[in-house]
Structure formats: C-alpha cells, structure tokens
Amino acid sequence: MPKGEISIKVSYVGYNSSNIVFDLQRDTSINFTLTSVQLSEVLITGKSESNIKQTNTGLEIIPINTLKAVPSLMGVPDLIKAITFLPGVSPGRDGISEFFVRGGDRGQNLIMLDGAKIYNTNHVGGFVSLFNSDAIKSVDLYKGGFPARFGGRASSVLDIHAKDGNINRKHSKFMLGVMQSSLLFEGPIKNQNTSYLIAARASYLDLLTLPIRIKNNIRSEGSLAGYTFFDINMKINHKLNDRNKVFANFYSGSDFQGSEEKSKNESSEDHLQLHTNILTIGHTLISTSKMFLKTSLIYSDYRNKISSAFSSNYYLDNYFHKSTSTSTIKELSLKSIFEWNPGSNHSIKTGIEISRYSFLPGQVLIQNRDSILASQADTIIGSAGLLRSLENAFFIEDDISIGPSVSLYTGLRVVGYFYKNPLMFNFEPRLSMRVLLSDNLSVKVNYTRMVQYNHSLVSNYQGFEREVWIAATDSIPPQKSNQFSTGLYGEIPAYKIEFSIEGYYKRMYDLINYQSATGVFSDFSHLEKLIAKGGKGWSYGLEFLLQRSVAPVSATLAYTLSWSYRQFNDLNNGLKFPFRYDRRHALSVLTRITLNKQYSLNSNFVLSTGTPFTLPVSYSKDNSFYYGYFNYSGINNMKLPLYHRLDVGIEKTGKTKKGNIKKLSVNIYNIYAHQNPVYVYYNPYNGKTYQKSLFSIIPSISYSIEF
Amino acid sequence: MKPLVLIILVISLMTSCELVKQIDFEPDYDGGKIIAHGFISQNYGVQVQISKSVPSNDTHQSSYVPDVHVTLYADNFPVSNLNETDSCFFISPDSIILKEGVAYKIIITTKDYGTAESGEQYILPSIDIDSLIYRKDTINWKGEKLLYSFYDPENNANYYSFYYDAFHDEDLILSSKPDDSFILSYFDDRLFNGQKTWREESFYSTFYKFDTVHIVGRLFNISKEFKTFLESLKEYEYTKEDPFFEYTSPVFSNIKNGYGIFGSYTFSEKKITHIKPK
C-alpha cells in the first residue's frame, strides 16, 4: 500500500463494525477489538408455498395469528367464524359457528382434527366452535381442487392440525374471559424426544345464574335455564429415532343445556347433552429423505341426547311423561399415506383409508306413568336401528412440474362402499393444471368429483338445531358433486400485495333433506318417509381476494359474487329454489394495525346481501271449516335486508415483572349496533312487518398470561 | 378485572339479545287468488266456501268474491251448478245423487279473479262402527274411556278420524270436536290393515251428574288428499312461528290456480246411552 493516511473498516457477523484511520509509513501490525451486537427481538416467520405456484385451486391456508386476531363475539377466537371471512365461504346464522362453502350444505364440509372427522363443530347453541385456537397448529381450507387423499364430503375440506407441544421448554397460558376461560400446558417430557400439550376450556354461565338457582330451590317454584360446556385437547409426541415418530391426540368435549320450570303441582324439564370423544394414534416413518409413510388409527364417538319431561302431582293423580331422543355416531378408521418425492418438482402420494361407521340417527324412548289410567310404560319408538357401513378408499395423486411454467396434478380416489348389500364402487377423478405467466402471475384450471356416503339432516329443538347423520343405503344413494374452477393468482411484490380471482361451477346430485318440518321426537323407524331424496344443487360464482400480510398494516379484502339453488321433486312442488345461504354479494375486510410493541388494533367489516327466507304471499282468512293460514308461493322466495357489521378490538401486550407475557384484549362486536335481522315476520293482527335480531353491540374483554 | 366491569359486560350481553323492531318491508302479494275449502260426502253432498286471498300484511281486508259460480263435474262432465246459500257458501242441489266410483271435481269461475279447478275426489264408502263402549275406570275413580271398533277394508291405505259428542237431553255436555274447526286429527291403517281394530279415547267427564247421557261416536273415512291437507295444517302450525325452521311448512292445496282443499269424507255414526248406576 502507498504511504499516507489509510482508512480500514473491520466488520464481522454479530459484531459492530469499526473504522480505523492511521498514517502508514512502514509495515505495521494493529490489534482491533470489536464489540458484539445487541439484537432486539427477532421474529422469524415462515410462509408456505405461494398460492401462485401451487397446482390446485381453491386452497386457503389460514395463519393462526390471523385467526387469533380477528375480533370475535364474546372475545373468544373462533376458527369457524374466522374462515367465514374468506371468499366463497358463507357464514350461517348470525353469531353461529357454522360455514357453507361455495353453495354447499353444512354437512358437506369434511372437518378433520389430526385426520379425525368431526361431526359436530360447535358447542350447544352454536355460538362457540369446538376448536380451541390455543391448541391449533395449522388450518388448511380446500374449497375446490381437493387432493385425492381427501374424500367423503361434497363441498369442502377443513384440515386442522393440533399443536405438537413445545419440545424445547415448558410453556403455560391462562386466559380469563367473560363467558369462558381456558388454560394450556405444553413442554418436553424427557431428553427432548417427547413433548406434550394439554389445552382445556370451560364456560361458566351456570355460575352467573347460581344465585337464581339457589333462590329457586328454596322457593321450589319458578323457571331456570342452565348452560355449560367444557373441552380438552391432549397430545403427546414421541420421537422413537431419527426415522420414526409417533403421536397420540385425544379430544373430549361435552355440553349440558337445560331448562326447568316448577309450580306447586307441576314441573317440566328439557335437557340437551352433547358429547364428542376422539382418539387418534399416528406413526410417521421417514424411510429416506424422499419417502415418508404416515399411518393413523382413529376412533371417534359422538352422542346427542335430548329429553323432555313433564310431571304433575295432584290428589290421587300422579302423572309423569318423559321423551328421550338419542342420536349417536361411532367411527373407526385406519388411514395410511405413502409419500414419495422423486424430485424437487415431483411428488407422488398414495394410500388407503378404511372407515367403519355406526349411526343411530334417532331413537326415542317414551316413559309414562299415570296413576289414573294405572298405566306404566317404557317404550322405544321411532328407531331406525343402527346403520352400519364400511367405506374403503384407495387413492393416488401425482403433482409434477412440466417445464419451468407448467405443473400438473392428477389424482384418483376409488371407493368401495358396503351397506348390507354388495359393494358399490365410485371413481373420483381430480385434475388440476397451473401455468406460470410470470414469476408473479399464474393461471389454473381444475376439475374435481366428490362422493359423500354419510348424509346429515338438520332438525330443530327449542331453537337449537340438531344434526343427525345417516349412512347411504340401498335406497338413499350417496350424494355427489362435480366442480370446475379456474382462477388467476398473483402478487405485486413492490407493495407486498397478493391477489386472486377464482371462478367455480358446481353441480350436486342425490342431496337429501327432510320432507317437512321434523322434530327431534319424530318417528325415525320409517326414515325414508321423512326424507326428500334425489335433490339437485347448482352453485356458481366469482371470488376476489386481495391481501397484504406485512406489519404494521396488514389487511385482507374478500368479495364473493355467487348463486346457489336446490331442487327436490318432493319439495316446493318440484320447482328450483334458492339455497338458504345463497348470498349474492359478500364483502369482508379484515385489518390489523400494529401501533407499537404494545398495542395493536384489529377490525373486521362484513357487508352482504341478506339470505333468502320464506314469507307468505297472501293470507287465507278463517272460513266455515278452518282457521286462517298464510299462503306461500315457494321456498326462500324473499331476501332478508342487507347484512352489515363492524367489529373492532384492541390488544395490549406486555410483560409482567417476572417477564411473563400478558395480553389484554378488548373486543366490541357490532360496534355501531346494527340490528341484523335473523328473520322477518308479519303480524296478522296489525298488518305490520317486524324483524328479529339476535345480537346488537356486544363488548367483551379477556386477559391472558403466558409462563 | 373489577367485578363491576364483569357485571356491566354481562348485562350488556343479556340486554342485547332478542331484538325486535318494525321495518318497512314490501311483501310480495299474489294479487288475490281464489280460495276454496270444500268437501264431498255421502252424508252432506257437496259443501264449498269460496273466498279470495288477502295481502299478508293487511289481513283485515275483505276476502269476499263477487260474481262467483261453482260447478260440479263428474268424470269431467259438468253435472250441476252449486247453490249459494250464504255469502260465498255453496251446496249441491238435493237432486244430485253422488255415486261411488265417479271422479268429482269443482270448477270455480269468478269475474275478477279468474278460474280455479280442484283435484278429483271420489265418494268414499261408509265404514261402520262395530262397537262403541263407554267404560269408567274401575281402578281409579276419575278416568273414563270410550272404546270403539271397526273393520278396516283390505285395500289401499285408508285414513280415519273419530269424534264423539255426549248429550244430556238435548244439551251438548262433552265433545271431542275442536271449536270452530272441522276435522283436525286423523290416523291411518298401517297397524291394522284389513283387520278389525279396537281403539280408545280417554277423557274426564261430568257424566256422574246426570242420570242419562247419550254418546254419539262418528268414524270418518277421509281421502288421501284430505289427510295430506290435515297433515300439512299440523306442520304449518308447528313451524309457522319458529324462525329456526328453514321455512314454514305450507298448507297443502289441490286447487289449481288457487288455494284450499277439495276433500272427500264419509262418516258412520253409532249412539249409545249411559245410565247412571244406582
């Protein structure tokens, strides 16, 4: 180097750089001391394969952080309600945890927790979903483009995976809410080869009504309603060696809802109980870095029991009557998937799924004691008996890139179905193609056929819906759907914005419905007489999604334009009618603004066309033979007024003196108190029209602390 | 969290439920359609009441239909015009003899509301009550029963209805028939097709106050359409004020271009006398 003033910059990863200036006259040796860098908290986020590059259409990957941030009714993060903000996913009744995908029925959603099918997705009343967001690791929603490894439902797949439990350190969380509280424990057990997770929730509405309960017992007269639920998720993971892992996941949830009314000589009681138990045992074998074998054994048990009792006690006249209706589902499944990735752009999956079902759609037990008539009877009526079926599926799928811009997905699911009589075979092809138009833009097309062997039927019990499931039989064929979808997917990197436009057309066949209003104590022994069979469905629409998922301002805008219809020979005089949740336009905007390290603001706004409902077109007045009644021109002939709502929430995150993370959330559901109608009715006496809403403004608060 | 905050939140939640308000909502109106409620029977011939539908939100509007004619058809041939005996109430002339095996229907013609046509109905045979027995419960002192039996014809599904009246002198002291309505309940022969069956009605009465009570039992043989109408009325009543049903079950009609029912029934009657034991 030439003599003179020299400047040297010294830098090293993890250390602050240093500039040294000196006058160079001869060979010189200089010692440096660098100070280490003190980094602030680093947040490492991962992102799954971009929607642009995936081959299939209709897949929505729901980030858990987004799910938890959505302001919700009663401040409880709710997976089911959160996904209704996605395009193509329609919510059901106001405040209820249910969803309808691309004009499909609720029972056409395949909802799985670690591979186990869930038959009932919410707790009594439907206001709280079965899924504890603290115990969820990932959620994928398939609205179309279903991989061949999924089957058995006609409209969607919601694939939920439970958290494995923290393998590195113990972690606990307690959350105290207005209506419910939850707790979570997770951590390693031994040598970091085994981890556990326990998450539980319980509602305590009953505690709030305890004073009334005590008072009632003293007076022995009056009325009382009670409601409580609890659920628990337990998961244990164990690494046998570098190639073998096993896990066991257990879920149990129960609901109790009841009302009692007492007077001096009479009393009546109504009770509803729901129980869900699921056990999944899984094994993963990593044969080589390119081959995997995943096997799981699943047992699930769902029970639904409704009872209604009346008793009277007068002089010499004692009367007691109780009706109990029970519905159960039991399933035992074995699922095995072999995955082989011959190249980075080629993946093959194949496997089997064997499921044994046992359905008891409805069994009614009548208990009667009458001292006057000297009668005593315990009679089972209205039982369809146990419906047992076996569904054996084989599937194979191949996802391959052909050249730099084209990828092709081909899949086939073959199902052999047994119900008493000989095997019934169905072939379900799945095809998708993606063409990359540029690095940031792709176009896709897809065709999917789905066959559903288990049907759901919904009836009503004191305002709460009751869903029963039945197996396809010789005379009730499985329902089927064919769906075509295509879309354009892209991103604008400069603004970190992703967008998609997707269109679909879906035809559904062999749908079933109750022929008419069916109560829970109906006679199920002539099941086929209760059911309208051979229904057809049409749904089509366009979905737009625009999202930015980068702090400090992240937002999602979803808009759906859709149509959905049904037709049954035995309903509506055989004429086509709009599906109950046919919403022509649906817009939702989710935003999350991170104000600073402590505070963040969340909001969601929904605006949609009112859902169809049935209103009379005229009135037949009282006549010489019968009282007056309303006349109807058809099912779902009117639409409810526009639905709109804004929910907001603020979150404060901080640390306790001991360094634990604490979080305070305040949510306001429906902040401008818009009364969204659940239904509209005429008052025949004053000729006026009224609407009834369930929820106005609802504030809620929750506090959680993590250890 | 302060307890006060919790209480306020719970109260807010409770008070925000069950909200009802009046709204301006323009309902669809069918413009006024013909409504016919009529029956054909061996006992009373043809009886039909005609009215028109009124808007759902203005049910006080008159349902009177001016200039209306009702014609009875037998096997698609006009037989006779029905006579208007009261405001829009029509009966068949005495000269008409109704026969089994003939398909009867009515066509209603109006000046302002067009024409409506009923479905076809057949005259049903009378099913005789074989036995009618009044029995006081011998174990307990209050319960009473009316037992009756009949032979169900061995053919297609039959539908029945049974009602009883009890008289002391000429005064009605007990009736199972609903107030201001015609037949409402029914049963079918699924459990006793082609066989003799015994059935019973339980009740509490004041018969013990009277020396003599006459009990009249009536067994109605009703048509399938009539039964479907009754079934739909029941479902309508069950679902009409419950918003959680997907829709209110509509009342069945077999009146083309209108609403209502043209049904068929025939009843048989049996009378017994109960004398107070001394």
Q: Are residues A600 and A512 in the same domain?
A: yes
Residue B9 has pLDDT above 60, yes or no: no
Q: How far apart are CA A480 and CA A244, in angstroms?
A: 38
**Residue/partner pairs of B152-158 with CB below 8 Å, 24 or more apart:** B152/B127, B152/B189, B152/B192, B152/B193, B152/B194, B152/B195, B152/B196, B152/B197, B153/B125, B153/B127, B153/B194, B154/B193, B154/B194, B157/B188, B157/B189, B157/B190, B157/B193, B157/B224, B158/B127, B158/B188, B158/B189, B158/B193, B158/B221
Using an 8 Å Cβ cutoff, are A542 and A511 in contact? no
Q: How confident is the prediction for chain B on average, in pLDDT?
A: 85
Partners of A465 in beta bridges = A460
B269 lies in a domain?
A: yes
Q: Are residues A386 and A466 in the same domain?
A: yes
Q: For strand B187-188 and strand B159-168, is the pairing parallel, antiparallel, or unpaired?
A: antiparallel
Q: Are residues A350 and A493 in the same domain?
A: yes
Q: Are residues A63 and A13 in the same domain?
A: no
Name the residue range of residue A652's domain: 59-706
What would the two tokens of residue B50 be? 């005609």
A54 lies in a domain?
A: no
Q: Are residues B104 and B163 in the same domain?
A: no
B6 lies in a domain?
A: no
Among B96, B123, B150, give the residue marking a domain's end: B123
The Cβ of residue A354 has, within 10 Å, a number of other Cβ atoms equal to 15
B242 lies in a domain?
A: no
What would the two tokens of residue A598 be? 């402590």
Q: Are residues B133 and B118 in the same domain?
A: no
Preceding peptide of B125 cis, ω within 30° = no
Render B56-119 in DSSP notation, one character per residue.
TT-TTS----SSEEEEEEETTEEEEEPEEEETTEEE--TT----TT-EEEEEEEESSS-EEEEP
| CATH code, B49 | 2.60.40
Structural domains in chain A (count)? 2
Among B123, B154, B180, give the residue marking a domain's end: B123
Render B212-250 in DSSP notation, one character per residue.
EEEEEEEEEEE-HHHHHHHHHHHHHHHHTT-TTSSSPPP
The Cβ of residue A379 has, within 10 Å, a number of other Cβ atoms equal to 10
Q: Are residues B179 and B269 in the same domain?
A: yes
With cut-offs at 50, 70 and 90, classify the pLDDT of residue B141: very low
The Cβ of residue B151 has, within 10 Å, a number of other Cβ atoms equal to 14
B29 lies in a domain?
A: no
Using an 8 Å Cβ cutoff, are B46 and B86 in contact? no
A414 lies in a domain?
A: yes
Q: Closest partner residue to A178 among B9, B16, B54, by Cβ?
A: B9
B1 lies in a domain?
A: no
Q: Are residues A128 and A34 in the same domain?
A: no
Q: Are residues B133 and B269 in the same domain?
A: yes
Using an 8 Å Cβ cutoff, are A57 and A487 in contact? yes
Q: Are residues B70 and B153 in the same domain?
A: no
Q: Do B142 and A74 touch (CB under 8 A)?
A: no
Per-residue model confidence (pLDDT) at position B1: 46
A650 lies in a domain?
A: yes
Q: How far apart are CA A186 and CA A168, in angstroms?
A: 10
What would the two tokens of residue A27 be? 């060979």
What would the two tokens of residue B270 be? 């049996």
Residue B88 has pLDDT above 80, yes or no: yes
Per-residue model confidence (pLDDT) at position B130: 93
Q: Are residues A115 and A10 in the same domain?
A: no
Q: Are residues B271 and B193 in the same domain?
A: yes
B97 lies in a domain?
A: yes
Residues 67-106 of B with CB under 8 A from A: 89
Q: What are phi and psi of B229, to 5 degrees?
A: -60, -45
- Cα B82 to chain center, whole Å? 22
Q: Are residues B205 and B143 in the same domain?
A: yes
Q: How far apart are CA A19 and CA A47, in angstroms?
A: 38
Provide the shortest C-alpha distance from residue B169 to chain A (in Å). 27
Integer angstrom CA distances of residue A218 from A212, A215, A221, B141: 10, 5, 8, 35
Q: Closest-CA residue in chain B for A636?
A: B247
A45 lies in a domain?
A: no
Q: Are residues A29 and A65 in the same domain?
A: no
State ipTM: 0.88
Residue B187 has pLDDT above 70, yes or no: yes
Q: How many Å is the maximal CA-CA distance in chain B? A: 87
A48 lies in a domain?
A: no
Q: Which amino acid is at A513?
A: N
Residue B51 has pLDDT above 90, yes or no: yes
Name the residue range of residue B193's domain: 129-224+265-275
The Cβ of residue A291 has, within 10 Å, a number of other Cβ atoms equal to 14
Q: Do B243 and A696 touch (CB under 8 A)?
A: no
A240 lies in a domain?
A: yes
Q: Are residues B169 and B134 in the same domain?
A: yes
Among B71, B93, B123, give the residue marking a domain's end: B123
Mean pLDDT for B181-197 is: 84
A607: part of which helix (H) or strand (E)? strand A599-608
Residue B247 has pLDDT above 80, yes or no: no
B144 lies in a domain?
A: yes
Kindly tell me the burial class for residue A289, based on how many C-beta atoms sit within 10 Å of its own C-beta (0-12, 13-18, 19 or more). Answer: exposed
Render B247-264 in DSSP notation, one character per residue.
SPPPPP--EETEEEEEEE
Q: Are residues A34 and A161 in the same domain?
A: no
Per-residue model confidence (pLDDT) at position A465: 67
Residues of B in Cβ contact (< 8 Å) with A176: 1
Structural domains in chain B (count)? 2
Q: Are residues B185 and B110 in the same domain?
A: no
Q: Do B56 and A464 touch (CB under 8 A)?
A: no
Integer angstrom CA distances of residue A324 from A135, A262, A301, A364, A470: 34, 20, 19, 5, 19
Q: Are residues A13 and A110 in the same domain?
A: no
Contacting residues for B88 by C-beta, under 8 A, at least 6 apart:
B49, B50, B51, B64, B65, B68
A476 lies in a domain?
A: yes
Q: How far apart are CA B274 and CA B108, in angstroms?
A: 46
A46 lies in a domain?
A: no
What would the two tokens of residue A55 be? 């081959």
Q: Are residues B216 and B80 in the same domain?
A: no
Q: How far apart are CA A679 and CA A610, in angstroms?
A: 10
Per-residue model confidence (pLDDT) at position A47: 54
Q: How far apart are CA A294 and CA A288, in angstroms?
A: 13
Segments of chain A scoring below 50 in pLDDT: none
Q: How far apart are CA A128 and CA A122, in angstroms?
A: 6
Q: What are phi and psi of B165, to 5 degrees?
A: -130, 150
Partners of A467 in beta bridges = A458
In a mutational test of the A interface, the residue from B238, B248, B252, B257 whose CB has the highest number of chain A CBs within 10 Å is B248
Q: Do B139 and A374 touch (CB under 8 A)?
A: yes
Q: Are residues A445 and A516 in the same domain?
A: yes
Residues of B in Cβ contact (< 8 Å) with A316: 140-142
Q: Do B56 and A691 touch (CB under 8 A)?
A: no
Q: Are residues B269 and B167 in the same domain?
A: yes
Q: Are residues A5 and A140 in the same domain?
A: no
- Residue A355's nearest CA partner among A386, A392, A396 is A392
Q: Closest partner residue to B57 among A373, A624, A682, by Cβ?
A: A682
Q: Are residues A256 and A324 in the same domain?
A: yes
- Residue A118's nearest CA partner among A290, A315, A282, A277 is A277
| CATH code, A325 | 2.40.170.20
Q: Are residues B201 and B155 in the same domain?
A: yes
Partners of A254 in beta bridges = A230, A275
B239 lies in a domain?
A: no
The answer to whether A692 contacts chain B (CB < 8 Å) is yes
